[in-house]
Each structure stands twice: as structure tokens, then as C-alpha cells.
Structure 1
Amino acid sequence: MNSSNETKPKATSGTASAIVNDDEEFNSFEGTRFYFYLDEKTNRWYISGASDEDHLGQYQYISLWLPNEGDVVKKTYAIVDDHGAQGKANASWTKATSSSFRPYTAISGSVTVTLNSNLQTVESTFEFAAQSGSKTVSLTQGEMKLQGFTEDKKARASGLVACNLSESINERYESNETGFNKRGETGSFPAYLQAWSRQFTSKPDFKDYVLSINIAEGLSRGTYSFSPESKQVRLFFFHILEGFVWSAESGTVTFNSIPDFEAIKGKLSGTFNFVGTAELGDGSQLVLRADNGSFNLEQ
């Protein structure tokens, strides 16, 4: 378990840029915040850059997942949409606000990488086409140069988040990966603790879901209502493979216990239910319902 003076991430520095094509809101990307680490669970390198917020509170980030093949020099990987493909890379471009999150999953492209694990450096050039629902964007002239591994990006936790899903997804969600993040103020939402969970299974029943609850700093135990405008709690459910994200528009969450916000230590336990909608490119919506939800996590 990490001590309190180890909870802040070790900074990764660098630069990242790209041309964004076919999006009505963004035409370029410039990174100001970065992550670079080896995910030991999947044995894949993760590198990403996030932009600052614009005047509307919108921001972007680009993520690349690379095979761990040791140190490489100018090695080119095909970018595919199958996260289980051996020797291939994956990518995504996301635009978000404090109350919305729309990932575009790369369906084709390539990335050329030079990586030195001893020096903790990675340089990459890339281009890819990405999809979210019926919408497609492309990123060209992409470049990311990073130095320094990001340490303790996420405080891993033990425990379980579970609920019964219906409407757009009809199955039981049971996480097999959980953790906590500390986030600063974003747009209309104050600084918060993010309790995240993931249900990931490989082929033949390949699925990748993420459920996160954003808890405003200083919140006490009790019952709160979900809404996109809430300044206390917000919930998001992500269908990573399909590129859908549902924001809880109604429902409640009851916190029986909440971890210490500064040290991210202690237990988070409670129950929840929600109804959320995901916006599609043609203007239609997908509804997702979760009932009998529960969480019991501890750092």
C-alpha cells in the first residue's frame, strides 16, 4: 500500500501533436499532460497525451497501446481495432468535458516507435482512422515524444463493482479490475475522487466495459442523485469496443463509507442504480439501465 507522500503521479514530460480531420469541433491536437508506463496486466506499453480545455470546457486526448517487445528502434506496428491481436498496436482519440466522454476507437492506421526502457523515453509517429458509432475521424501527422515513466497513475484497489444491466446491454457487470484516481477541477465539476472499475474478458467472449463514479472532494456519507449537472456525483459507463459512453441522467448512489481524499486510503462501499443515455452520430440515443448495483473497494 502506498504511503501518502507517494500518491501523486511522477510526471511524464514531452510533446504531442496531430492534425484532426473530419471533426466539426477540433482540427488539431496539442498535448500538455502525458502518461507513459508498462501495463503489467496486459504486458503492453501505454502512452497518451491530453490537451488543455478550450473556452467551452472541451479537451482531447490520444492514447496508444503498444506491444512490449523490449527496446525497439523505428519499428512500425499496424494499428487495428482488435485489442487481442498479437504484435499489433491499438489507438483512440477522445473528446470530453467534465460531463461527457466520447472515445473514437482506431480501426486502421500505423505507428512507428523508438522506445528505450532504460532511458525511459519513447518517440512515435502515427496516423489512424477512428470510429465512434456512425462517425469517423482521422488523425494525421501525429507525433508523440515522452520521457519519464508515470508512476502511481492509478491507485489499485481490491474489491468488486457489480450491477445488472438492461436495455442496450443485457447482462451482469462484474468488475475484475478496480482502482482510484484523484482528479482536479474540470469545467463545472470540482476536484474529485474517481472510483473506476473494468470488466475485461478476452476472446471468444471479448468484452471491455468501464464504470466510473466521480465523487466531489469533501463529500460525506449519504444518498445522492445522479444528473449530468450534479456537482456532487456523476457516473459514466463505457463500452470500449463499440465506442459508446452512457452518462447517468437519473438514479441514486448511497455511500456507506468513503476513502480519505488526500491519501486515497480506506474503503468505498455502497449501492447504486441509474438510467443513462448514449448519443449516436445520427442524433438518436441508446438507453442503459443498471439495477441492484453495489461497490466495495479498498486501497
Structure 2
Amino acid sequence: MTLGSTGNFLNQYGIKGHFNRFRVTPPEYEATVPGYEATMPEYEAAAPEYEETIPDDYIYELEEFLEEGNDQRYRCFDLLVNKLEPTEVKNINQDLEEVVQRLRRSPETIHTLPSTSHAVLRLLLDSRRTKLMLKLLSNPLEFGIFPDHFMSNLLMDTFIEEKNYTAAARVASVLMLQEDFGPPLTQALAMASCYLYATSTENLPWEDYTVKIAEPEEELKIRIPYLRNPYFDDHFDLKEPNHIVGKTLAWGAPLIGGVIGTNCEILGWALYNKWSDLEVTLQRCAANSTPVAESVVGILCNFSITC
């Protein structure tokens, strides 16, 4: 099937004009999409009767549409993801992942709408596709999914309520890696997520979602002019869960301040294995007579025994 135009493609799947069904409102599109009023005036008009069902093969039609290189593909994908219901994601996990990855690798990835990341994460959260969500969040360069502060709050709050502290801490670590802890509410949720992960004994495994490169079956020898020295940036190269959670706590704690912030900072430096920074923080606590939580003292004692 050949898709003639953006409008035909959207009409086929009952999307045209149904902003009231989207997770994002029209004003956001008006503010973020260049030339919105000039290129998409028909979306503000009344729409025909909404079709409750989407064809099962819509994702394949979308892939065909992407092959055409249409400059409206990012807008179409954003609208489609906002239109999807959680029950319709069950059988398209792999296809959704591939489409997101293809759009990210395209030279026009700069045209991705700010609402797309929110829509994808909200869809995966509502459909309880936690593993796929964490995979997308763990590889931002590969998939281009960056949660905004509102989405980060929603994810961390949901995972804390479900006692999935591993997922909550991973969302918090994204804020640390981006060096943007957001407003006070986001900061508090990030510290709570990491603290609960560090003090819980029933955490789910911290899976490695790094994209694996297949090793060649035969040994290849390549002549190169020189060898690069090993480099570790102590930030994006962090792989140890305790180090990631510890750095998140240590960096976010000063924003919280007070007794809670100080205890989170102590715990963070300990998990991060930064003993000189830990010593400085403990000396500051002693000088200011700042109390240290029993749970934090217990973790520090365990570290002193095992290290």
C-alpha cells in the first residue's frame, strides 16, 4: 500500500482532529511545532466520528511511511503514539522500539517534537512495559528518549508506590546523568528513590541494557597507527549500580539541604566509594552536630567490614 500524504495517513487511522484523546494538548503543539498554523490548520477543525479500533498492521504502514523520507514523519509518529491506547501496545514492543531507533538515527532527528518522549514514556508506563521503558531511558543516544521533569515525577512516584525501587532509582539516575535535578519536587523524589533503593534488601536486579555489539566469529587483525589510552569519565561510563545511585544521592543531596540532605550525601559518597568526600561530609556533620540516621550508620558499618 502506498501512502499518498500525511493527511491521508493520519485519516486512515482516525487521528485527524482528535486532540481531546491525546496525552498532549493542542497548545503544546502550537508552541513547539514550527509553522503549526500554516501547515496543519485542518487539525483544529471538527473531526469525523472516532474509530475505537486501530488496524493491527498500522505499525508496518508507519514503517513504510518512514521509508519515503517524508518531512512530516516525526509529527505523524508523535500523533500516533499519543493516539495509542495501552491495550494496543501488547504485540508491538519490538516494532515500537525499532521505529524510535530509526527516527533517532535519521539525519532529521532534530525535528523530533518535545512531546514525543513524554508520549512514548507515558504509553509504556500505562501499558506496564517497564523493561522496554528502562531500555529506552538507559540508551538516550541510541533512542533519543529524554523524560521531562513532569514525566520523571510520574515515573518515580509510580515505581515507589509499586515498591519497584530499582526502576525508580534508574529514573533518578537519568536526572543525574543529565545534570538537571529539576524543581524541588523532582529533587525530593529522586533522593527518595535512591535512598529506598540503597536501604532495601529486596530490590529487583539492575539489568544492563547497553546495546551489545556482536563479536565476529573469526579473529580479525587490523593494523592501526596507534592505540588509544583507556579513558573513564566517571559519569556516563559508570556501570556499577551502587556507584550510579551513590553519585545521584551525592549530587542531589546539597539541593535538598538540612538533615535529610546531609544523610543522603553521606550515603551517596559511601555507595560511590568516594572516601575523601565522605570524610569531609562526616567532619562537617560533627562540627554542626548534625544527626545521622541509624539506617545510614548501618550501611556505613557494613562498608567498613566488607571493604
Q: TM over 0.5, yes or no?
A: no
The structure, 1 or 2, with the larger RCO (C-alpha pairs under 8 Å, 6+ apart) is: 1
TM bucket normalised to smaller: under 0.3
Indicate the structure (1 or 2) with the bigger Cα radius of gyration. Answer: 2
TM-score normalized with structure 1 length: 0.21
| Larger helix fraction of residues | 2
Higher share in strand: 1
